[in-house]
Amino acid sequence: MDGRLERGGDDRRLLPVAIVLWTSCLAAHEAFSRCMALFAGRNDSGEGGFDGENGSAIPVIVVCVVTIAVLLVWIVAERCARRGIGRMLIVVCVGAFLLGVVTTWAAESAVWFDPAMVRARDGTTRVTARLRVVEPVETSSMRDVDCQAETRLVAMDDGVVSTWSHAQVRLLASGADCGRLHRGAGYQVSGELREAELGVTPLWLTVSGADDETMGDTGASGAKPGVSGIDMTERQPLFDRWRERMQESFFHATDGLDDSGRILVPGLTMGFLGQDHVGIPESNPAGDSAGDSTAGSAPIDETYASRLEDCFRRAGIMHLMAVSGGHFVIVAALIRRIGAHLLMPRQAVACLIVVSTTLMAALMAPGDSVTRALAMGWLSAAALFVGRRAQALSALCVIVIVMLLTNPALAWSFGFALSCAAVLGIILMAQPMADVMALLLPDALADALAMTVAAQMATLPIQMLMEPQLPIWSVPANILVTPVVAFSTMTGLAGLAVAWMNMDVGRLCAWLSSWGTRIMEQVAVRLGDGSQATIPWMEGVTGALALVVLEASAIVGIRLAYRWISPSPGAHMLLGDPFTSNPRNRLRLWWQDTHSMIRKLTW
């Protein structure tokens, strides 16, 4: 093929590899869960289990299942190779499948046989644990506790045995203990450890005496350190203290806004909704001089906050309440423009993009979509550094493969699946849809509409697994909020960057950002309030598959329409874009001729 006509952006060889790897991780997870449930049930009924005579059957079952799967794939590979399908691609897919199964099984085994998990499966137990907070503290949706924080265990002592552990635990606390928790710090906590009732985190640890509002020098709830309550054993690192100060200062800058601004401005900027924020007291050990971000301001109406979330979800714009890849695209584009204006070398621009996006990701709410967007931003910056065009599809596939191999649990994460599906839909379908829509609509509107429809079509099957309802106003809602999303995001990020240094400027930026979030609120309330905003759909996998079939039919129809409207195949061998008549051009010419004729008439 002529090098001038070669399009590296259409290289899709890694796409089947990523799909096979994802499928193998899901299959291994389901097989492991069923296998462990089966043998755990036998162990509870006294019929054997892991320690019984049937315990040795687990490796045999695993080997048999993997062997059968490999044989089936190999048979299919041989038949495909006879028909001219690339043998190397098939071999790589088989290797990815086996690697996904082994990696997922090893990761699931490490979690299942962790000492904390083993102890929690025996029932609720009182332990003294050493742990580290790995995510920001948030308000809890449970009635018996005030706040929650995601932590990582270091060691655990149940009064009989003291052992090391690396399990992920959700720490549940109340009262004054919530103000003592800081991201990055280490603690010794006494409380009740049990299996999680809901959510992804497998274990819950409820702090003993957390509902006692008094706290002395001896520890939380008046208890002695190491006996009950919470005792800090390791202070926050310097970077975590600086990050916490910036976030608290920005929350403090939004205190003067109305409830919608206090909810949406932090949500759009950092991914933290205002009602989920837990204020840090002025006497906190991190040395935060910003004080309690909730002091002196009325609490957010919980009923209004819950209703607003429901409206955003039913309107199909729930992604505006979280950090997405749009943040990184906006920041990278701004840096590129500044670099081009200053005639900076591309290597310096690439390094500046990496540093800026990394710092921004550190200030955002942790999430799988943030990690995916940051990693893809790094690959794009690397392409800019070496002077090559970024290949979005190849970058997405590489990131998916690497992230699934390092953390197989992402395969059953709805957040990661939605993020990857949205990007994949935009890459594969947005441009063909925009070409068809541009025949009737202005280019800017056609591009925005095509991107919205492509992302919506790719993510709808996954959304049906979460909630079987179709948001009928999703596309109009996204089109209406698109003009203000970039403005509100940039002003919000500016406020986050300066609020810790100058609170007045931070308040001004937050106020400017709230003007855009007011439009988002009105769109969500107008289009997402009431039962008429959604259509019920079939539940579970059946509903998702039915939607996939429906969307596939629509895609085939669009491709047929595009081929019918587009010029003959021979025209595509020429360089450049073909110029043909279309309804929009004919309408424009008709209006110009009519207007000119009327002007020249003699009345």
Residue-range domain boundaries for the chain: 11-112, 115-235
pLDDT band, residue 66 (cuts 50/70/90) = low
Burial of 62 (0-12, 13-18, 19+ CB in 10 A): middle
Q: What is residue 590's predicted lDDT score, i.e. its pLDDT? A: 78
Domain 115-235 in CATH 1.10.3470? The answer is no
Two tokens at 442? Answer: 């202005």
Cα–Cα distance, 193 to 131 (Å, whole number): 13
Two tokens at 318? Answer: 């729930």
Phi, psi (5° rounding) for residue 186?
-105, 145
Q: What is residue 40's predicted lDDT score, i.e. its pLDDT? A: 66
Phi, psi (5° rounding) for residue 339?
-65, -40
Q: What is residue 63's predicted lDDT score, i.e. its pLDDT? A: 65
Cα–Cα distance, 367 to 384 (Å, whole number): 26
3-state SS of 515-526 is: HHHHHHHHHHHH
Q: What tens digit of pLDDT does each residue of 109-121 get?
A: 999 999 999 888 8
Is pLDDT of 226 > 70?
A: no
Cα–Cα distance, 277 to 254 (Å, whole number): 12
Two tokens at 418? Answer: 């939605």
pLDDT band, residue 562 (cuts 50/70/90) = low
More confident call, 105 vs 55: 105
Q: What is residue 53's predicted lDDT score, i.e. its pLDDT? A: 46
DSSP line for 272-318:
--GGGB-PPPTT-TT--TT--TTTTSPPP-HHHHHHHHHHHHHHT-G
Closest listed residue to residue 277, CA positions, set 252, 257, 313, 308: 252
Is pLDDT of 130 > 90?
A: yes
Is pLDDT of 86 > 90?
A: no
Query: Which DSSP letter does residue 211 get?
Result: T
Model pTM score: 0.82
More confident call, 41 vs 493: 493
Cα–Cα distance, 330 to 326 (Å, whole number): 6
Q: Is residue 52 classed as helix, strand or coil in its secondary structure? A: coil
CB atoms within 10 A of CB 421: 18
Contacts of 224 (CB under 8 A, 6+ apart): 218
pLDDT band, residue 81 (cuts 50/70/90) = low
Is pLDDT of 224 > 80?
A: no
Q: What tens digit of pLDDT does each residue of 524-544 get?
A: 998 888 777 788 888 888 888
How much is the average pLDDT of 116-136? Answer: 90
